[in-house]
Structure 1
Amino acid sequence: MDDITAHEAVIRRAGGLDAREAAEVWLRSYDAALPTVRRAHSDDEVRDYFREVVIPGREVWVAQSPDGPLVGVMVLGEGRIDQLYLAPDRRGQGLGDRFVALAKRRHPTGLDLWTFQVNTPAHRFYERHGFTEADRTDGGANEEGEPDIRYVWPGMPSGGHRRHLT
């Protein structure tokens, strides 16, 4: 299923024309959610990365509001949520919940992700969705040099198929 209607926003696979707007969501969200974390790349480098690498080569989902602009972006890797960013004015409205539900449907055998240690709202969000802390680092392995946490979700039993006793 490529299009999923969720409340007033539509979550859909991203296309080439979405690159710039998806990068803008990422930039606004990062700056609002992580004001104390130094970004490793300039705005233009982020835009180029979305246009040249993320959109053409990754599994990218975007949320589009009814009036047109993108309000969220999620990038999935193999069994991983690589990025999940929402427009700052869309946080706390259930859009992130819908993105995580989609990620779980796409990867029912389990997911992992990384988030910065300073991002306590993200910790609460992912823990509420069944993710548990697996590792903490000093940030030496990420471009920002920021301590981070790896979260894991173990997946659904039998790869997402529920067993029913009859």
Structure 2
Amino acid sequence: MTTLRLARDLDAGAVGAILSEFVDTSDWMPRIHTRAEDIAHAARMIDLGRVHVAEEDGAVVGFCARNGEDLDALYVAAKNRGQGIGKALLKHEKAAVDQLELWTFQANEAAQRFYLRHGFIEVQRTDGSGNDERLPDIQYEWRRETV
């Protein structure tokens, strides 16, 4: 059973590890930060109250970070992907706002499929000159449908 909750200080290590694992297992993704910096980044986001985690049997298996309407991160541990955890995290964030914006890399085809499947539309593509990794990216947007 997956539980979602606001991240606590002690979750920074697990959140940072999931982020590092993604970088380590994506051959197109350059490592521009150390694993320790990934944990420190996770700790900063948690301190700001922006992170929710997905937990199974007491272990953090995924997380998302949102700053207002900006979905800054959504990652699931490799062994837990394809089990609906990302969908649950995204649903949780969509329930809190009327619209979300996010960026993903053009090389991340799985993320593109995921966001399109969950109602996001492509807004723009860039050459990557505006992000730290210098990788071409795509901006997506989701808006709650009004009845």
What is the TM-score with the length of structure 2 in the denominator? 0.95
Matched ranges for 1:31-50 at <5 A? 31-32=24-25, 34-50=26-42
Aligned to 1:69: 59
Aligned to 1:26: 19
Aligned to 1:3: none
Q: Does 1:9 align with 2:2?
A: yes
Alpha carbons 1:116, 1:147 under 8 Å: kept: yes
Aligned to 1:160: none
Root-mean-square deviation (CA, aligned residues, Å) is: 1.2
Alpha carbons 2:4, 2:54 under 8 Å: kept: yes
Alpha carbons 1:30, 1:85 under 8 Å: kept: no
Q: Does 1:116 align with 2:105?
A: yes
**AA aligned opposite 1:46:** D
Alpha carbons 2:7, 2:49 under 8 Å: kept: no
Structure 1 gaps of 5+ residues are: 1-7, 158-162
Structure 1 consecutive aligned stretches of length 4 or more whose deviation exceeds 2 Å: 29-32
Largest Rg, 1 or 2? 1
Measured after TM superposition, the shift of residue 30 of structure 1 is 3.1
Alpha carbons 1:133, 1:150 under 8 Å: kept: yes
* Aligned length in residues: 147
Q: Does 1:100 align with 2:93?
A: no
Aligned to 1:80: 70
For residues 49 and 107 of structure 2, what CA distance do their matches in structure 1 show? 27
1:81-114 deviations in Å (ceiling 9; x for gaps): 100000001111111111111111011x110100
Alpha carbons 1:73, 1:85 under 8 Å: kept: yes
